[in-house]
A and B are shown apart, each in its own frame.
Chain A
Amino acid sequence: MNLRRITALLLRYLLLYRQSWTRIMEIFFWPVMDLLVWGFLTAYLLKVGSNRVPALITFLIGSMIFWDLLYRAQQSVTISFLEDVWARNLLNIFVAPVTIAEFLTATFALGVIKVLVNGLILALLAWLLYSFNVFQLGFTLIPFVLSLMLMGWAMGMVTVALIMRWGHAAEALAWGIPFLIQPISAVFYPVSVLPSWLQAVAWTLPSTYVFEGMRQVLATGQAPWHMFWWSLGLNVVYLVAAGVFFEYMFRVVRRKGLLAKLGME
């Protein structure tokens, strides 16, 4: 791993923002839209009135923010790759002395930056609009966020591998893959809602522990650290598996001569 190359790759993505207002707008767009929807829903529910509502809303907003972070982490890896496909620049990168690990690390670093910015905007807006103070929860949630990002990264790697192999046909997956796990990993409701066989599946996903843990933090103010460690452990397994899968697919793609064909179908 060469830090200089990773920085250069990262610069390639960051400089895009200097050149484009639409990209900068995009950073604000999703958090603002998300919060508006949840904000109006909150207002409505409060009008309908029930004393259970505030807690429920806190859960929902928390879930929404966390889901957004997971989605952004996956997207940053996937979209970075697609940018190079669309720009017909992928070959330039892969004929340069860039290892797969360096390439992926750069996209991950971009993800961290994006999520940081996104998270701050979300937190700020949630606080301004709904007096929902993320930081009041203490910093206990931060490890959970990090774990979530690792999972987003693993999903991103798998998505990119699939796009490399199947090209345009697989591009839809770039947007869809996170939603595959959304129903199972108990994003907006507790795992106990799921039928028991599905619960078993849910507990194989790192994200489930994060979302359950997040709700416990919100409900009790106490972090269930065993949940965090489980998610972290599973993430390590997922990341290694995603890395192996990526390497394997890269070899298949090289054997089939698909790298130069990407984006040209």
Chain B
Amino acid sequence: MTNAPVIEVHDLVKTFNGTTAVDHLGFTAARGEILGLLGPNGAGKTTAIQMLLGIIEPTSGTIRILGKDIARHRIAILSRINFSSAYVSLPQNLRVIDNLRIFAGIYGVANWREKAVELMRLFEIERFATRKTGQLSSGESTRLHLCKALLNDPELLLLDEPTASLDPDIADKVRKLLRRIQRERGITVLYTSHNMLEIEEICDRVIFLHHGRKMAEGSPREVIARFNEQTLEQVFIRIARDGELQSAEKKSDA
């Protein structure tokens, strides 16, 4: 294992015919770190994550994941990372266990059944194994999706609003699980969420985006202190309402 960053993003830009979704973004994520990507609707979080996954091509800039350039080693990288989000789902008309079996096959998991059962247990959905996926509640299917995302023992997990449809109890369980998995396996997680309490709880470090630009970066506590606020939520609201804050902050830093 090396100590090279798991994610290295350098001067990343994405424009969609005129609108700039991601604006000269640069950051790194270290091994075993949970990094929160925050910002208001349309800030560029999803666009950034999809560029990391190689399904959106950057306008300019470079992305290295696990030491490799995503533009040149997409497939090799994708086999070592995984992704989950509230806006994708698994085929509804297949059984839960079949979905896990198929993705285990795609990711080349050796003992698919063992792995699937272990993960379903972890996320407390093993009793649904032979149910059709479409019959699961949205919280249950979110958990199934997280099982899918852990099938290949990823070194990096990209989670775009993964807890969006979970009730507070399950959301809490899922966060604790993610924490545990991250601790036990040294997995790196890039996480987006609009729930600031959750972010404060789970993230080692956060990056605030606004109009695609990085407005703040640091541990939740650092960021809160730098903005002279009490909570991350207050920081979020200030950044959302005043995109110019960054320059003000820069001046006060000087």
Sort A-B residue pairs by CB-CB distance and give the 7 closest, nearest first. A8-B105, A97-B79, A97-B78, A254-B57, A87-B91, A257-B56, A8-B106
Q: Which B residues between 67 and 100 are near A, CB-CB below 8 angstroms?
A: 75-76, 78-79, 82-83, 85, 87-95, 98
If A93-B106, A97-B79 touch, whether A87 touches B89 (CB-CB below 8 Å) is yes
B204 to chain A, nearest CB (A): 24
Q: Please measure, in the bound complex, the distance between the C-alpha atom of A251 and the C-alpha atom of B58, giving whole angstroms.
A: 11
Q: Please measure, in the bound complex, the distance between the C-alpha atom of A238 and the C-alpha atom of B115, giving whole angstroms.
A: 43
**In the complex, what residues of A have CB within 8 A of residue B53's CB?**
95
- Per the CB 8 Å criterion, the residue count for chain A at the interface is 34
A11/B55 in contact, CB under 8 A: no
**In the complex, what residues of B have CB within 8 A of residue A92's CB?**
83, 88, 90, 103, 148
Q: Mind listing 18 A-B residue pairs with CB under 8 Å? A: A2-B108, A7-B105, A16-B94, A19-B94, A87-B91, A88-B87, A91-B87, A92-B83, A95-B55, A96-B106, A98-B75, A254-B56, A255-B56, A257-B56, A259-B56, A260-B55, A260-B56, A260-B87
A15 at the interface (CB under 8 A from B): yes
**What does DSSP make chain A's interface, helix, strand, loop or mixed?**
helix
Partner of A83, one of B47, B87, B91: B91
B108/A4 in contact, CB under 8 A: yes
If A254-B57, A257-B47 touch, whether A264 touches B103 (CB-CB below 8 Å) is no
Name the residue in B55, B79, B83 with the highest tally of chain A Cβ atoms < 10 Å from its Cβ.
B55
B90/A89 in contact, CB under 8 A: yes
**In the complex, what residues of A have CB within 8 A of residue B94's CB?**
12, 15-16, 19
- Interface code A236-251, partner B: CB below 8 Å = 1, 0 otherwise? 0000000000000001
Q: Which B residues between 107 and 121 are near A, CB-CB below 8 angstroms?
A: 107-108
B102 at the interface (CB under 8 A from A): yes
List 19 other contacts, CB 8 Å, given A2-B108, A99-B75, A257-B47: A4-B108, A12-B94, A12-B102, A19-B94, A19-B132, A83-B91, A87-B91, A91-B85, A92-B88, A92-B148, A95-B53, A95-B78, A96-B78, A97-B76, A97-B107, A255-B56, A260-B46, A260-B50, A260-B87
Partner of B106, one of A87, A97, A255, A259: A97
Q: Please measure, in the bound complex, the distance between the C-alpha atom of A7 and the C-alpha atom of B47, giving whole angstroms.
A: 31
**In the complex, what residues of A have CB within 8 A of residue B78's CB?**
95-97
B75/A12 in contact, CB under 8 A: no
A50 at the interface (CB under 8 A from B): no
A260 to chain B, nearest CB (A): 6
A24 to chain B, nearest CB (A): 13
Q: Please measure, in the bound complex, the distance between the C-alpha atom of A258 and the C-alpha atom of B21, giving whole angstroms.
A: 14
A164 to chain B, nearest CB (A): 11
B179 at the interface (CB under 8 A from A): no
A20 at the interface (CB under 8 A from B): yes
Which residue in chain B gives the minimum CB-CB distance to A254?
B57
A94 at the interface (CB under 8 A from B): yes
Q: Please measure, in the bound complex, the distance between the C-alpha atom of A88 and the C-alpha atom of B50, giving whole angstroms.
A: 15
- Interface code A9-39, partner B: CB below 8 Å = 1, 0 otherwise? 1011001100110000000000000000000
A52 to chain B, nearest CB (A): 49
B55/A94 in contact, CB under 8 A: yes
**In the complex, what residues of B have CB within 8 A of residue A88's CB?**
87-89
A264/B87 in contact, CB under 8 A: yes
- Interface code B210-252, partner A: CB below 8 Å = 1, 0 otherwise? 0000000000000000000000000000000000000000000
**In the complex, what residues of A have CB within 8 A of residue B82's CB?**
95
Which residue in chain B gives the minimum CB-CB distance to A22?
B93
Q: Please measure, in the bound complex, the distance between the C-alpha atom of A74 and the C-alpha atom of B230, giving whole angstroms.
A: 60
A226 at the interface (CB under 8 A from B): no
**In the complex, what residues of A have CB within 8 A of residue B95's CB?**
15, 19
**In the complex, what residues of B have CB within 8 A of residue A5's CB?**
105-106, 108
A251/B55 in contact, CB under 8 A: no
A256 at the interface (CB under 8 A from B): yes
A99 to chain B, nearest CB (A): 6
Which residue in chain A gives the minimum CB-CB distance to B98?
A15
B138 to chain A, nearest CB (A): 13
A89 to chain B, nearest CB (A): 5
B102/A91 in contact, CB under 8 A: no
Q: Please measure, in the bound complex, the distance between the C-alpha atom of A256 and the C-alpha atom of B51, giving whole angstroms.
A: 11
Q: Please measure, in the bound complex, the distance between the C-alpha atom of A3 and the C-alpha atom of B105, giving whole angstroms.
A: 10
**In the complex, what residues of B have CB within 8 A of residue A97's CB?**
75-76, 78-79, 106-107
B101 at the interface (CB under 8 A from A): yes
